[in-house]
Structure 1
Amino acid sequence: MNSDSDLQIAGDILEVPHLLQTPREHPATVAEFVGLARSIAADRSQWEHLVRYDATTRWYHRLSTGPGYEVWLLSWVPGQGSGLHDHGPSSGVLTVLDGTLTERTERGTRVLEAGAQRVFAPGYMHEVANDALEPAVSLHVYYPGLTEMPMLPQSQLRSTAQTPVASACEARPQQRPVTA
């Protein structure tokens, strides 16, 4: 017995296997998906060489998949947009890698610059467009993987969609945002 305490520890408590959580191989929480998007954004060698710009249609490329999720790379030339849509049962993280995109929702309009992220739940309705004069590139993580993207009539956006808003759903950019 220790003279300073009645407590005795037998062995290393940190070696008890049932107390240790095994590390996850793939993201499972919103914060981990945001982190995944940030890590891909920070490593331009993973995606920059793949980007193509197409003046006739939005270009997209499935960058990777994992258990229950997928990652897409999209490019936007000036004037291109997604149209008003939702993502069915999928949640997502949108990260602007290069350029500037505009997001319109029924709550208002947000200008998203390189490094900005948006997190959204199933059924979230928005339109994303490149209203700038330079091309833009974005990264989209969907969980579960995107199985549908219903297009919606523009009339579903209320007149408040022209009002700039800030939202608690915006993930804060990293200390050093991704730059061109």
Structure 2
Amino acid sequence: MSITFTHRRGIRPVTGLAALARRYAENLSIAPHFNAESRWYARIGGDSTHEAWLLTWLPGQATDLHDHGGSAGAFLVGGGVLTEQVVRRGATLVDTAFVEGQVRSFGRRHVHRIVNSGTAPAISLHVYAPALREMTRYRVDDGGLRVAAVETAGVDW
């Protein structure tokens, strides 16, 4: 089944991305895989307005602090528990746990880190609009957020 994202008047794109993530999850036709060396991920769809990715997380696997290069997004936890760490003032990380079935939407300037801090494997489905072109990786240094690297789609991942 082909799924397209349409921006309807009166609905913010971030809200639309959460609904789109749920639709992808309901129509998932790829089996997730787990990799002990690194997180496994696969692009599972998209069109000219968005893209969707399926990711798996073994306990302890995590991302670096990062943004999405100007893309808004949403992620749906399809199994397990994932903790999102969001940067607040003073470069403090605030943790929020998301369990199976929960969706988290975020805007274009969102900086976060996701970690499987549980004891069981986790699965998540991520949708971005527009499609990811770059991601900036950050580090916390001297109480502030500093750019560690800028990665480009098709080159770095």
Query: Under TM normalisation by the shorter chain, which class is it?
Result: 0.7 to 0.9
Shift in CA distance, 33/27, structure 1 to aligned 2, threshold 3 Å: farther
Q: Considering only CA atoms, is the larger Rg found in Structure 1 or Structure 2?
A: 1
Q: Structure 1 segments of 4 or more deviating over 3 A?
A: 154-158
TM-score using structure 1 length: 0.67
User: Would you say how many aligned residue pairs link Structure 1 and Structure 2?
Assistant: 131
How far is 1:32 from its partner? 2.5
1:129 lines up with 2:112 in the alignment: no
Larger helix share, 1 or 2: 1
**Residue 40 (structure 2) aligns with:** 59
SS in 2 for 1:145: coil
Query: For each residue in 1:130-160, what CA deviation from the matched residue of structure 2 results, as whole angstroms up to 9, or x when unmatched?
Result: 00000000010000001111110034887xx
**Residue 78 (structure 1) aligns with:** 59
**Residue 22 (structure 2) aligns with:** 38
How far is 1:86 from its partner? 0.7
The amino acid that maps onto 1:101 is: L
* Equivalent residue for 1:117, pick from 93, 103, 111: 103
Contact between 1:58 and 1:76, CA under 8 Å: does it hold in 2?
Answer: yes
SS in 2 for 1:127: strand
TM-score using structure 2 length: 0.77
The amino acid that maps onto 1:80 is: Q
Output the CA distance in 1 between the equivalents of 2:96 and 2:42: 25
Query: For each residue in 1:99-124, what CA deviation from the matched residue of structure 2 results, as whole angstroms up to 9, or x when unmatched?
Result: 00001112411011011111111121
Output the CA distance in 2 between the equivalents of 1:62 and 1:72: 4
How far is 1:27 from its partner? 2.6
Shift in CA distance, 87/53, structure 1 to aligned 2, threshold 3 Å: same
Output the CA distance in 1 between the equivalents of 2:120 and 2:32: 14
**Residue 6 (structure 1) aligns with:** none
Larger strand share, 1 or 2: 2
1:26 lines up with 2:5 in the alignment: yes
**Residue 144 (structure 1) aligns with:** 130
The amino acid that maps onto 1:82 is: T
SS in 2 for 1:134: coil
* Structure 2, gaps ≥5 residues long: 8-12, 89-93, 145-157
* Structure 1, gaps ≥5 residues long: 1-24, 159-180
1:87 lines up with 2:68 in the alignment: yes
Output the CA distance in 1 between the equivalents of 2:6 and 2:80: 27
Output the CA distance in 2 between the equivalents of 1:42 and 1:92: 18
Shift in CA distance, 115/156, structure 1 to aligned 2, threshold 3 Å: farther
Query: How many percent of aligned residue pairs carry the same amino acid?
Result: 36
* Equivalent residue for 1:103, pick from 81, 84, 94: 84
